[in-house]
Chain A
């Protein structure tokens, strides 16, 4: 019932790690003068050929880059935003030629779909949603889930995007407290998971909109972010990061955690804590999980990578050219890691 039982993974010493496990494949520099905020990779059809493209987001422009045979990247399209800055890219899994972005200042104010005209000739953007949006996630089957608050209540909305960006809407039953993050549940079709501001995990049935369960996961770490959820043998396994975790000695600073939840009883146990190697300082700033690998940008400006099966940190990538890392994403098209700096440099490992 308590996550106090969490085991600490073997924590290797800092000097046994290096970025040698990561090979720099290519680099691209966004010449836009504004601050770089996010990166993603997706398939895009260009002149009849599907290419594994990179999407970069600066404050007021999102660009699509096509790979060249030389290992370099060519900018193909850019979408510009005049008034509200971009906060994050919202990738749509399993979708070609469509990406969404969240725009706002401190909180998300708008979600837009970015696409091209049917002849591939010009960039189009479609306003999908406005409001005080707390969380958004692209789901399989061209669906987008978002939660927003009005003065009285919270709305959790699923949009199914049709060709051209127009959409169908459906609402999920909202929990009382604000939803912070969403995750689809691998292994259980039509299950959607959310983390809330009160340290609860909620589960919905995407087909019926029912709120199935609310489960408290303990108060050890506040405001947890859910990066991955999968269902196996009747249990729900959830990978969380802990932006508010305090540094703990001597075991190190917990950055990610794997917990197991029994959805029938709402009981949970901690399975593994993923800590920084000894000698490394820092807390989670932002990160990404794909398959059994987790990557995080730390407050120290370093990127750390964990193998979730081995249970420990396998690589550390210190700041390059005296520039701290500011975001990191796993590629959706291959096994690449995309690491970005505020000045527009994107390194592909």
Chain B
């Protein structure tokens, strides 16, 4: 699968989503 299909990828997705999600 190409990266373009999935949008920008972040290696630190878990930490980033944890800081954005409501507590």
Beta-carbon contacts of B1-23 to A below 8 Å, as 1s and 0s? 10001111111111011100111
Give the residue among B10, B13, B16 with the most A Cβ atoms within 10 A.
B13
Q: Could you tell me if A262 and B6 are in contact, using CB atoms closer than 8 angstroms? A: yes
Question: With A and B bound together, what is the CA distance between A263 and B14 in angstroms?
Answer: 8
**Interface assignment of A136: CB less than 8 Å from any CB of chain B:** no
Q: Could you tell me if B23 and A262 are in contact, using CB atoms closer than 8 angstroms? A: no
Give chain B nearest CB distance to A176 CB in angstroms: 14
Q: Could you tell me if B18 and A263 are in contact, using CB atoms closer than 8 angstroms? A: no
Question: With A and B bound together, what is the CA distance between A291 and B14 in angstroms?
Answer: 23
Interface class of chain A by DSSP: strand
Contact residues in B for A269 (Cβ distance below 8 Å): 1, 5-6
Q: Could you tell me if B1 and A205 are in contact, using CB atoms closer than 8 angstroms? A: no
Please choose the segment from A47-55, A72-80, A140-148, A209-217 that sits at the chain B interface, where 4 or more of its residues have CB less than 8 A away: A209-217
Q: Could you tell me if B1 and A231 are in contact, using CB atoms closer than 8 angstroms? A: no
Q: Which residue of B lies closest to A212 (CB)?
A: B17
Beta-carbon contacts of A227-241 to B below 8 Å, as 1s and 0s? 000010111100000
**Interface assignment of A208: CB less than 8 Å from any CB of chain B:** yes
Within 8 Å by CB of A234, from B5, B13, B22, lies B13
Contact residues in B for A42 (Cβ distance below 8 Å): none
Instruction: List A197-215 residues whose CB lies under 8 Å from chain B.
Output: 203, 205, 208, 210-213
A to B contact number (C-beta, < 8 Å):
67
Contact residues in B for A236 (Cβ distance below 8 Å): 13
Question: With A and B bound together, what is the CA distance between A290 and B17 in angstroms?
Answer: 28
Contact residues in A for B9 (Cβ distance below 8 Å): 233-235, 262, 264
Q: Could you tell me if B23 and A208 are in contact, using CB atoms closer than 8 angstroms? A: yes
Give chain A nearest CB distance to B9 CB in angstroms: 4
Q: Which residue of B lies closest to A7 (CB)?
A: B1
Q: Could you tell me if B13 and A205 are in contact, using CB atoms closer than 8 angstroms? A: no
Q: Which residue of B lies closest to A259 (CB)?
A: B1
- Given contacts A233-B9, A267-B7, are A260 and B17 in contact (CB under 8 A)? no
Question: With A and B bound together, what is the CA distance between A206 and B14 in angstroms?
Answer: 11
Q: Which residue of A lies closest to B1 (CB)?
A: A269
**Interface assignment of A285: CB less than 8 Å from any CB of chain B:** no
Give chain B nearest CB distance to A239 CB in angstroms: 15
Q: Could you tell me if B11 and A191 are in contact, using CB atoms closer than 8 angstroms? A: no
Q: Could you tell me if B18 and A235 are in contact, using CB atoms closer than 8 angstroms? A: no
Task: Enumerate chain B interface residues (CB-CB to A < 8 A).
Answer: 1, 5-14, 16-18, 21-23
Q: Which 3 A-B pairs have the closest CB atoms?
A: A265-B7, A234-B9, A262-B6
Offer 14 A-B interface pairs, CB within 8 angstroms, sorted by A.
A190-B14, A208-B23, A212-B18, A213-B21, A234-B12, A235-B6, A260-B1, A263-B13, A264-B8, A264-B9, A264-B17, A265-B7, A269-B5, A271-B1
